[in-house]
Amino acid sequence: MTKSRGVLCIGGLQTHQENHAAGFDSDPRSHIVAIADEADIDERRRSLNQGLAVQYGVPYIEGIETALALPEVDIVSICADVERRHRVAIACAKAGKILYLDKPLALSSDKAELVVDAITESGSISQMYSFVNTHWAKAAKECVESGRLGNLLAVHTDILFAKGPGGTASNSGARVETAEPTQFTFVESKREFFDLGVYPIGLCLWLIDDVPSEVSGVTGNYFFEQHERNDTEDFGAVSMSFDGGIVATATGGRIGWNSHPAGGPHRITIVGELGTERFDAWEPRIEVFSTAEPPKLPAPHPQDPMGMWRSTNQAVGIPKKTNYSPLFDETRWYPDDIEAFLDCIEEGVAPEMSAQQALGASKVISAAYRSAANGRPESV
């Protein structure tokens, strides 16, 4: 067996690092060396980072350069706030480290391009977390590659999270979008089309193996007053046109805990000349209906009302829904993605969702924000 690789985790509790770190910690081919972040961060973030360091019994290091200088660091798992994620990722790439990246790559396509340039120049292996290593996405890819539907005509993907107490938005009218958003991170909400839309858009581009030329996007404040208050969208939809005539559509967002019997609609529809096939994260499943008391959403955690983080969900006891019982649930998605990443490192092959592949999704998201703001299609 190869030696266990040392992982430096940037970012701590109440970030996706909770999931990344758990995945690296559970795989015998990797171990966590330290938690770190930039020195100039606020006290809340520092305290949450230190909390993850305590959880894994490793040191917390202030300053990215100091942490990168640790000789035992092979891999860096980056979950820095998206507003400064590009800066951290570029520093780690320049240090020649292997990179496991939170999604999306950066807050704009321009900054994402800088990250990809640095990674390409360093020659580092990189992977952004995505759904391409789930069984249902792999089955969709197999469908496309098999050619059994004839020439590909369209791909439609929905990744919507049924989390958080929905039904609180004022429904006061159309959302006024910003062409180039700059602030994404709030305690009570985040930009969901940005943060969750990267999943379905990334899947569409990966399945089609291309980047669209034009997009039409819209964002909304459909479900949550917290998003409305922070001027962050809770939903977005985009239609993408490719030069070869293929069309893709994607929806990404957070729709409320009560709006789906499982984690939310997660599905891919492949349309070819010879027919249509659908791939669903919650199928195959059994469905259960009984006199048992249905689970209820508890009072929200004050630091995480949208149910974004593993630690806060456990703290308030968010129950598992019981109507759908899929044969393969979501608990393996993170570990499977990290396992695939470590496989690629061992085999010396590029991950399916490398930073280079992930750049397309950032370009589409930026163009979709422009389209939503301007009310017309935008080129990518």
Q: Please, which residues have CB within 8 angstroms of residue 136's CB and are 6 or more apart in sequence?
A: 266, 267, 268, 279, 280, 281, 283
The C-alpha atoms of residue 4 and residue 26 are separated, in whole angstroms, by 12
The C-alpha atoms of residue 304 and residue 311 are separated, in whole angstroms, by 10
Instruction: Give the nearest distance from C-beta 131 to other proteins in angstroms.
Output: 12
Return the closest-CA partner of residue 187 out of 329, 302, 324, 266.
302
Whichever of 70 and 211 has its CB closer to other proteins, that residue is: 211
Instruction: Give the nearest distance from C-beta 48 to other proteins in angstroms.
Output: 32
Instruction: Give the nearest distance from C-beta 304 to other proteins in angstroms.
Output: 21
Whichever of 42 and 273 has its CB closer to other proteins, that residue is: 273
Instruction: Give the nearest distance from C-beta 377 to other proteins in angstroms.
Output: 6
Q: Please, which residues have CB within 8 angstroms of residue 257's CB and are 6 or more apart in sequence?
A: 162, 163, 164, 165, 166, 297, 307
Whichever of 69 and 288 has its CB closer to other proteins, that residue is: 288
Whichever of 88 and 255 has its CB closer to other proteins, that residue is: 255
| 8 Å CB contact between 236 and 143 | no
The C-alpha atoms of residue 216 and residue 219 are separated, in whole angstroms, by 11
Whichever of 169 and 198 has its CB closer to other proteins, that residue is: 169
Give how far the C-alpha of residue 202 lies from the chain's centroid of Cα atoms, to the nearest Å. Answer: 9
Whichever of 67 and 169 has its CB closer to other proteins, that residue is: 169
Instruction: Give the nearest distance from C-beta 37 to other proteins in angstroms.
Output: 34
Return the closest-CA partner of residue 148 out of 248, 283, 270.
270
Instruction: Tell me which residues touch other proteins (CB under 8 A).
Output: 135-136, 138-139, 142-143, 149, 153-154, 156, 158, 160, 166-167, 169, 171, 173-175, 216, 218, 220-223, 235, 237-239, 241, 245, 247, 249, 251, 255-256, 258-260, 265, 267, 269, 271-280, 283-284, 327-328, 332, 336, 375-377
Any bridge partners for residue 363, and if so which?
Answer: none
Whichever of 38 and 228 has its CB closer to other proteins, that residue is: 228
Instruction: Give the nearest distance from C-beta 115 to other proteins in angstroms.
Output: 30
Instruction: Give the nearest distance from C-beta 168 to other proteins in angstroms.
Output: 8
Q: Which backbone phi and psi does 23 adopt, to 5 degrees?
A: -65, -45
Instruction: Give the nearest distance from C-beta 87 to other proteins in angstroms.
Output: 34
HSE on the CB side for 294, CA within 13 Å? 12
Whichever of 11 and 165 has its CB closer to other proteins, that residue is: 165
What is the b/e burial string over 147-169, where b = at least 16 CB atoms within 10 angstroms of the residue's CB? eebeebebbbbbbbbbbbbbeeb
How, if at all, do strands 75-78 and 5-10 pair? parallel
Return the closest-CA partner of residue 79 out of 19, 141, 151.
19
